[in-house]
A = this chain, B = another copy of it.
Amino acid sequence: MTIAKTPAPPYFAVIFTSTRTAEHAGYETMAAAMLRLAAAQPGFLGVESARDSLGITVSYWDSLEAIAAWKQNSAHLVAQDRGRALWYQDFKTRICRVERDYEFSRK
């Protein structure tokens, strides 16, 4: 996983923060499939993910319409149902407009 190479703002971000249940079966496979599927959607710009006690996945999109379409993707709807049924203790999803960004790279 690397820092997403997003274009100049404005663009949009979905911050998905979660805690997991003790049920791990099927999770990694589904998470990897959803990352691949998201990356193939129109308007997808990139994704960043990390987990220790908390999981944070931020996906970047070129429009709110692209985010809405991804939320309603049929395979993603199945994954969301399974997440609520099995894998997530709690989650919060925040839809954001990225107004400004800056970066640092070591030479």
Seen from chain A, the residues whose Cβ lies within 8 Å of a Cβ on chain B are 1-4, 6, 9, 13, 15, 17-19, 21, 48-56, 58, 64, 84, 88-106
Q: How far is B94's CA from A17's CA once the two chains are assembled, in angstroms?
A: 17
Flag if A54 contacts B1 (CB, 8 Å): yes
Question: Contacts of A9 on B, CB cut-off 8 Å?
Answer: 94
Q: How far is B67's CA from A84's CA once the two chains are assembled, in angstroms?
A: 33
Residue pairs across A and B with Cβ atoms less than 8 A apart, 15 shown, are A1-B53, A3-B92, A6-B94, A13-B15, A13-B94, A17-B48, A50-B50, A50-B51, A56-B58, A89-B105, A90-B106, A94-B98, A94-B100, A95-B98, A96-B97
The listed residue (B64, B90, B104) touching A104 by CB distance below 8 A is: B90
